[in-house]
Structure 1
Amino acid sequence: MLRLSWAGFRERWTLFAGAVLTVCLGVALVQSSLLLLVSASTTSAPAGAGALARMSFDASTEAAVALLGVTLGFAALLAVFIISSTFAFTVEQRRRELALLRLVGGARRQIRRLLLAEATLLGLVGSALGVPVGVALMGVQTWLLHRLGFVPDGFSGQWRLWIVAVSVGTGVVLAVVGVSLAARRAARVRPLDALRDTGEATRVMTTARLLTGLLFLAGAVTLIGLSPVGGAVGGQAMAMNVSVCAAIALTLLGPSLVPAVARLIPARAAGVLGGLATANLRDDRRRTASTAAPVIVLVGLVLGQASASSSFTAAGQLEQQRRISADLVIDAPGPTGDRVTTTPGVASASTEVEVPIALTTGSGDLAYTRSATALLVDPAGYGRTHPGAGDLTALRQGAVVAGPGADGFSPGDTVGVRVGDQDLGSLPVVAAVPQAIGGGATVLLPAGVVPAEQLADVPSHTFVQLLPDVSRQQAVSTLTEVGTVSDLDSWLERDSVARTATSTGVLIMVMGLGGLYALIGVINSVVVAGATRPREFAAVRVTGFTRGQVVRAAVLESIMVAFAGLLLGLLAAAGTLIGVIATTAAVAGTVTVDVPWLLVGAVVVGTVLVTAVTSALTTRAATRQPPVALLGARQ
């Protein structure tokens, strides 16, 4: 069977090349993300670092591990869908060939074995190419991590020999899984039905595919409904996952939806070529859906995640503006002590120092310790600076308050806290400040719980309120001796820039290379679709169409498919925006939506241009030979 598979591979290499490419890039992306994830989780703090420095290093590596975990999951999701879509398409394009094998005596199980053997072979070839590509890709991801500030200096991805086995296994498994369902369906279709395009062969939407698509669609609707009650953390996670479920659902339902949406485009205005393009869309729904699938995934995930990230960042900035009451902000190393409060003209001041901690929640076998952050504050000053914080008079030595970024515990619970080498033991949670869309410290601790000498180099923010009749210029001149003084608006603007840069960096890490992979999947699907149509193009040409007209009709058809994929992808992204609206309204009290229109425009225009150019080049290559030679080659 492998010999027959190899012969088929050599004969149809143009059809299988796209499958090999998707496996290669999918394996490379998964391998690179996995190696970096393992490297980040095993990195140790530099020798000689202080207790707080080690804890800060551990917190940053944990954040990098979480980021790389999301990147790995996104890469795996894309690989599964793009590889499955590509392999299923290659099987469908060989429906007549497989029917002939059945007619000359091939059993159903032999057809399945043939296709699975081909998938194994293609998976091995793609994995062999993907391993060295993954090494180069790891260098790119490492550079991005350093450039965006997610890993400390000196971090690098470490090669592990076992990754070869994992990569090869991943490539083969993805290829076999991607072809298995299509192989089962191809073996089930009667040979004569396949040859005549009747009966079971004409069914595009199977019952299993329809039910799975509806299940994911129901999941997206459920996430939208639950996001308002999920709180700041859970609501954001559910809202951002809406586009994932919706994109999967619309991709699975693509054979029914894509042609219907594409026909809404007034292509018949282009005359005969438009009519030809529309007829091709109607007659080959499998090809149409397979070409649109990576477009739906690309647009739905990239724009959905980007819009959600931008909106939640904007909501966090608005929260900062509403929740802080101050005239000036002082940035200084370490706590400022009485140097601010004793300054003439200062009505009150609240110094906040954020430190890394090890936080333990739960008890017994359910106890869980994780890296978190604590804000060292004076309860009275914090309440004046943050008017909506509530009553914090119970915050004292031996107690904590749940902070704006708290998750998994509430007043009445007990948590374990360790700051550097100082174990504060189990502390009761005596109050909670409102959760924030923009996150923040996990707990609030009283200022004196950490010795001042340990905080000498830790950055602090002091929010200052001035007396009504004091000259702001004079106060700034005096307070400059303590640290860098800014008015509140300027400080909030810098904080906003930092928040935006962080969210953009996360988006680039998670979606950047994955989005590029999805774009390559779009190109690949167009190339594979065009590479299987030389005889179809030849048949059109012998009826009187010129080569240029055939190319223009194919380009128009691809643009229609791209627009259908774009519309469905935008629909998936819109689902996430509905979740964002519900979450921000419930948590922050104000609906906040910030759509990155520049990115939307770039994705839409770029997808259409890439699809059109790829289709034009592929069709020209497929129409190089004279039509009579192609039609007479195999009769």
Structure 2
Amino acid sequence: MLRLSVGAMRDRWQLFAGAVVAVALGVGLVQSGMQVLAATDRPVLPSGLSAYERVRVREGYVGAATLMGMSVMLAVFLTVFIVSTTFGFTVVQRRRELGLLRLIGAQRGYVSLMLMCEAVLLGLLGTAIGVLIGLLGTWAQSNLLIELGMLPEWFHAPWEQGAMWSAMIVGMSTALIGVLTAAWRASRVSALDAITDSPRAMRVMTAWRWFWGLSAAACTVLLVIAAQAARDLVAGLMIGLVVMISGSIALSQLSPVVVPLAGRLPAAVLRGNLITDLARAGILHAVRRSAATAAPLIVLVSLVVGLWGTFGSLAKAVGVEQERLITADLVVDHAVPAGPGIEVASPQTAVPVAVTRGTRTIYSEAIGIDPAAYQQTHKLRPRKGSLDRLVGRTIAIGPGMAAEGYKLGSTLTIALGNRKLPVKVVAIMPETLDVSENFFVPRTLLPAGGRTETLVKVAPGHEIADAQTVEQWARERGEAQQRSNSGLFAALMGLAGIFTAVAVVNAVVMSTADRRREFALARMAGLTRGQVVQVALVESAAVVIIGVLLGSLVAGAALAGIAAGPYGLAALAIPWRLLGLIFAAAMVVVGAAAAVTAHRATNPQPISLLAGRE
């Protein structure tokens, strides 16, 4: 059995190359990610840092750990996806070989065990390569996180043997998990069906595929309806995250049905000449090939565009919310003295603060305000207590800490500059989308320094130099939050893009390996070698369009709940540039893979391929 497995991988290496690369990338990213995670869990900070600086560094470590955790989970998910797709395709490509094994007496368990042995060999090879990739990946990920500002320049991730062993276990596990379904399907094919072209043997949509596809589709529809009915931004965001996953699973499972249906639209446009007609026929009739190429694109677009749009909408909603909560006319980035034309000036000065409650100390920022001026320029009012009592040694809990269990009337200890003061909680603000304001204190308690901006109400016709409108200020605040998210999503998008490129190239290579006879027939019918390559290019371009459109449909469904929220379309951020970038990159990658593989597949003379069945 082992000899059969080794021979299969040697003779059909094109079918396994993509899976080996996927496992190697998965192992490398898991190993490097876990090494960085271990280093951020036990940070070594240099001496001489203030308590506030130490907390800021630790916050960056938490952000880096979150990114690494997300990248590890994404790498595992995509590795299983690619390996399962590869082996599913492999079973179809090797129907005759498996049928012959059944005819000479191989039992179902033997066939399944043979595929499991191939998965073990694939896992071992991919894991060995992945461990080496992990060494380079640790250096690359550490430098990326430093460039993104999440980690300090002195950060170093030491070698962790446990990370290597964990990654190796993940590599072998993903290879075995990915082949389970394909092994079961291979064992269920009867010998006569496997060596004939009966409809049953050629069936793409199995009962389980229908079940999972329709179940995920029904779940997606119900979630979208629930998001529309909730009319709540946070609920819409949370539901949208689930919609991305369920929707991408639904369209991936139903892709053999959905892709040809969606393909009828570009197929109608592609009418007109021989090349486009042949490409149209390939899309509509070679269901398995079109679905295998489109499925990774559906997953990529739905997840990446949906996530970027969701968190971009959240950042945009922060600006919209601030604009609606502020009644001032202008915002100035310095203190504004009273004068003609100034009706109200509400300065806000942010300074570092340490707040101690019991045995727990929080290092954050406190905003010094004038309560009367603040209430004249803001609509936000405390849900408990009153800002009118914010005088002397008092403190108000801001929106960023409103859910942390502070009690009205309790006493806290704060450190402002070189002073430690007991203060009484006199107000607790409601939660908002903007969580940057944690504590409010009277301006009389502030030490010298700090960052000040002033919200100003002016008399009609009066202007202030270097001032922004509230609309401009709020928009920039949302954009600043989006920029802080962009590094995180750029890293995740790059990771997802690499895996998707492996998946689509793998699908194109595997499908083209089975099209040599088809290409030979086309050439014998009168097509030139260049025309055959053009057919493959046009077909691949159409499949890319279909995959991006279907992925965009899932992403749009995920964002529908946000549009139905309290801020409506004003809070909706659609990442058009990102979508265009993915589309262009997919066109280049899939087109190049299709052209190269079609050119190689047409190297032999047509008569040599048609002389007998392969």
1:612 aligned residue: 591
2:453 to 462, 468, 473: 462
2:534 aligned residue: 552
Q: Is the 8 A contact 1:15 1:532 kept in 2?
A: no
Cα distance in 1 for residues equivalent to 2:34 and 2:43: 14
Q: Is the 8 A contact 1:329 1:461 kept in 2?
A: no
CA distance change for structure 1 residues 107 and 546 in 2, over 3 Å: closer, same or farther?
A: same
2:306 aligned residue: 304
Query: Counterpart amino acid of 1:254?
Result: S
2:439 to 444, 451, 458: 444
Q: How far is the alpha carbon of 1:250 from its aligned partner?
A: 0.8
2:555 to 573, 576, 597: 573
Establish whether residue 433 from structure 1 lines up as the match of residue 430 from structure 2.
Answer: yes
SS at match of 1:388: coil
CA distance change for structure 1 residues 487 and 562 in 2, over 3 Å: closer, same or farther?
A: closer
SS at match of 1:49: coil
Correspondences of 1:27-106 after superposition (within 5 Å): 27-106=27-106
2:290 aligned residue: 288
1:502 to 484, 487, 490: 484
CA distance change for structure 1 residues 267 and 547 in 2, over 3 Å: closer, same or farther?
A: farther
Establish whether residue 624 from structure 1 lines up as the match of residue 606 from structure 2.
Answer: no
Cα distance in 1 for residues equivalent to 2:270 and 2:457: 70
Q: Is the 8 A contact 1:414 1:429 kept in 2?
A: yes
Percent of matched pairs sharing the same residue: 34
Establish whether residue 154 from structure 1 lines up as the match of residue 146 from structure 2.
Answer: no
2:380 aligned residue: 388
CA distance change for structure 1 residues 431 and 78 in 2, over 3 Å: closer, same or farther?
A: same
2:514 aligned residue: 532
Q: How far is the alpha carbon of 1:185 from its aligned partner?
A: 0.7
Q: Is the 8 A contact 1:273 1:552 kept in 2?
A: yes
Q: Is the 8 A contact 1:220 1:246 kept in 2?
A: yes
Residues 413-455 of structure 1: CA deviation (Å, up to 9, x unaligned): 999978679999999795433522xx22364343489x745xx
Cα distance in 1 for residues equivalent to 2:521 and 2:283: 17
2:255 aligned residue: 254
1:168 aligned residue: 168
Cα distance in 1 for residues equivalent to 2:177 and 2:356: 41
Q: How far is the alpha carbon of 1:411 from its aligned partner?
A: 8.8
Q: How far is the alpha carbon of 1:571 from its aligned partner?
A: 0.8
CA distance change for structure 1 residues 538 and 413 in 2, over 3 Å: closer, same or farther?
A: farther
Q: How far is the alpha carbon of 1:487 from its aligned partner?
A: 4.0
Cα distance in 2 for residues equivalent to 1:60 and 1:531: 48
CA distance change for structure 1 residues 206 and 36 in 2, over 3 Å: closer, same or farther?
A: same
Cα distance in 2 for residues equivalent to 1:464 and 1:579: 33
2:502 aligned residue: 520
Bigger mean CA deviation after superposition, 195-204 or 217-226: 217-226
Q: Is the 8 A contact 2:57 2:151 kept in 1?
A: no
Cα distance in 2 for residues equivalent to 1:146 and 1:309: 22
Q: Is the 8 A contact 1:91 1:182 kept in 2?
A: yes
Cα distance in 2 for residues equivalent to 1:141 and 1:236: 29
Correspondences of 1:392-407 after superposition (within 5 Å): 393=386, 400-401=396-397, 403=399, 405=400
Q: How far is the alpha carbon of 1:102 from its aligned partner?
A: 0.8
CA distance change for structure 1 residues 266 and 317 in 2, over 3 Å: closer, same or farther?
A: same
Cα distance in 1 for residues equivalent to 2:261 and 2:287: 10
Cα distance in 2 for residues equivalent to 1:632 and 1:312: 62
SS at match of 1:159: coil
Q: How far is the alpha carbon of 1:507 from its aligned partner?
A: 1.8
Query: Counterpart amino acid of 1:462?
Result: E
SS at match of 2:350: strand
2:213 aligned residue: 213
Cα distance in 1 for residues equivalent to 2:225 and 2:44: 42
Residues 531-578 of structure 1: CA deviation (Å, up to 9, x unaligned): 232233223333443322322222222223222212211111111221
Establish whether residue 593 from structure 1 lines up as the match of residue 593 from structure 2.
Answer: no
Q: How far is the alpha carbon of 1:491 from its aligned partner?
A: 4.9
Q: How far is the alpha carbon of 1:3 from its aligned partner?
A: 2.2
2:19 aligned residue: 19
RMSD over aligned Cα, in angstroms?
Answer: 3.7
1:198 aligned residue: 198
Cα distance in 2 for residues equivalent to 1:550 and 1:416: 79
Q: Is the 8 A contact 1:298 1:519 kept in 2?
A: no
Q: Is the 8 A contact 2:318 2:477 kept in 1?
A: no
Q: How far is the alpha carbon of 1:347 from its aligned partner?
A: 3.9
Q: Is the 8 A contact 2:536 2:598 kept in 1?
A: yes
1:561 aligned residue: 543
Query: Counterpart amino acid of 2:436?
Result: A
The alignment covers a number of residue pairs equal to 604
The gaps in structure 1 that reach 5 residues or longer are: 362-366, 477-484
Bigger mean CA deviation after superposition, 43-52 or 613-622: 43-52
Q: Is the 8 A contact 2:414 2:423 kept in 1?
A: no
SS at match of 1:465: strand
Residues 333-355 of structure 1: CA deviation (Å, up to 9, x unaligned): xxx8xxx6788968442324265
Q: Is the 8 A contact 2:99 2:190 kept in 1?
A: yes
1:481 aligned residue: none
SS at match of 1:462: strand
Q: How far is the alpha carbon of 1:508 from its aligned partner?
A: 0.8
Query: Counterpart amino acid of 2:7?
Result: A
Query: Counterpart amino acid of 2:346?
Result: A
Query: Counterpart amino acid of 1:160?
Result: E
TM-score w.r.t. the length of structure 1 is 0.83
Bigger mean CA deviation after superposition, 382-391 or 89-98: 382-391
SS at match of 1:446: strand
Residues 77-133 of structure 1: CA deviation (Å, up to 9, x unaligned): 322323322232222221221111111111100100100110111111112112222
Query: Counterpart amino acid of 2:554?
Result: A
TM-score w.r.t. the length of structure 2 is 0.86
SS at match of 1:389: coil
CA distance change for structure 1 residues 553 and 158 in 2, over 3 Å: closer, same or farther?
A: same
Correspondences of 1:120-139 after superposition (within 5 Å): 120-139=120-139
2:347 aligned residue: 350
Q: Is the 8 A contact 1:23 1:127 kept in 2?
A: yes
Q: How far is the alpha carbon of 1:488 from its aligned partner?
A: 4.7
Q: Is the 8 A contact 1:40 1:64 kept in 2?
A: yes
Q: How far is the alpha carbon of 1:168 from its aligned partner?
A: 1.8
Cα distance in 1 for residues equivalent to 2:410 and 2:509: 57
Correspondences of 1:481-492 after superposition (within 5 Å): 486-488=467-469, 491-492=473-474
CA distance change for structure 1 residues 127 and 248 in 2, over 3 Å: closer, same or farther?
A: same
Q: How far is the alpha carbon of 1:180 from its aligned partner?
A: 0.9
Residues 435-479 of structure 1: CA deviation (Å, up to 9, x unaligned): 22xx22364343489x745xx66x433324366499866xx7xxx
CA distance change for structure 1 residues 236 and 547 in 2, over 3 Å: closer, same or farther?
A: same
Q: Is the 8 A contact 1:88 1:178 kept in 2?
A: no
Q: Is the 8 A contact 1:277 1:554 kept in 2?
A: yes
CA distance change for structure 1 residues 381 and 255 in 2, over 3 Å: closer, same or farther?
A: same
Cα distance in 1 for residues equivalent to 2:411 and 2:162: 38
CA distance change for structure 1 residues 124 and 106 in 2, over 3 Å: closer, same or farther?
A: same
Q: How far is the alpha carbon of 1:596 from its aligned partner?
A: 2.7
Q: Is the 8 A contact 1:354 1:373 kept in 2?
A: yes
CA distance change for structure 1 residues 620 and 410 in 2, over 3 Å: closer, same or farther?
A: same
Q: Is the 8 A contact 1:62 1:371 kept in 2?
A: no
Cα distance in 2 for residues equivalent to 1:491 and 1:19: 49
Q: Is the 8 A contact 2:33 2:138 kept in 1?
A: yes
Query: Counterpart amino acid of 1:315?
Result: A
